[in-house]
Structure 1
Amino acid sequence: MSKTTPATAFLRRAEIPFETLLYDYDPSVEKLGVHAAAAVNEPPERVFKTLMTDVDGKPVCAVIPVARELSLKKLATACSGKIAKMMKPADAERVTGYRVGGISPFGGRKVVPTFVAQEVLEQPYILLNGGGRGVQVKLAVPDALAVMNGRTADLLAVIS
């Protein structure tokens, strides 16, 4: 399957091997990422979501497993910052050039610091948004981290 987006074009230019997986995007589901994982027949711990945040007034991208929640406190610590908050959807779209539901850590409008949940290191490969609603890209973890210049960190909220 093939669909060209700014993210897939970016990966091709970087000569990163990847596979594109398309699925029927359904904005009515409660957990879009978990729905995407099921739609492409992958376990949720291998499918990662891209969250745009603001740390001390600067944009930061956080990449975490779709079934988990981000700890804003841990993200701020990873960034050596004080206060992290989720970016408003309109701001996330302006910074990345992507629509919410299709935000990718690859090929965005601006290059921003990217932090990836350390659990990524437990996976042989991961899937991430490919720059469009209903588009996932599957690639090796080392390639994903290298091309997004991602730094791994403890980012996940503790499940009680």
Structure 2
Amino acid sequence: MIENNIDAEQYIYENTCHSVQEAASAANASPKDIIKSICLIDNNGNLIVAIVKGADRVSTSRVAKALNIEIPKTATPEEILDKTGYICGGVPSFGYEAIFLIDPKVMENELVYTGGGSPYSLTKISTKVLHQINKGQIVRVRK
């Protein structure tokens, strides 16, 4: 973040932030402020990251329709590490090569918390900056 001059704050906690509840508790924030990066793989091996609010689930059929592709599969923990450089449970919503899809509900918040690179960290970032740096397409991907 410093290297690329990204306006965001990273926080490291003693407890894990793997679940939405854990993340909200660690950040002393509402679960509505937590977003998830769901990693998917298309038939060509490309990484697709569907970004939704913490309580929402991703619809792979909506992702497929948005990108005009066959339904992608959920990435394995090994694929996530290989394609993002981060372990499952700490993947940020930016900072690596992927096709990013941002659900419109995410953009309703001014600030959100996303993965911070490990299960023990979060990054607080404005949704405008997030959208700008990951060049995500804003499209409904939640169920």
TM-score after normalising by structure 2: 0.89
Partner residue in 1 for 2:83: 95
Letter in 1 for 2:2: R
Equivalent residue runs for 1:1-160 within 5 Å = 11-26=1-16, 32-57=19-44, 58-108=46-96, 111-157=97-143
Q: What are structure 2's unaligned runs of at least 5 residues? A: none
How many residues are aligned here? 142
Letter in 1 for 2:117: G
**RMSD of Structure 2 on Structure 1 (CA):** 1.7
Q: CA shift at 1:34, angstroms?
A: 2.5
CA distance in 2, matches of 1:155, 1:34: 22
Question: Which string of whole-angstrom CA distances, capped at 9 and with x for unpartnered residues, describes residues 39-66 of structure 1?
Answer: 2111122211111101233221111112
Contact preservation (8 Å) 2:93, 2:130: no
1:95 is paired with a residue whose SS is helix
CA distance in 1, matches of 2:130, 2:139: 15
Q: CA shift at 1:24, angstroms?
A: 3.1
Q: CA shift at 1:16, angstroms?
A: 2.0
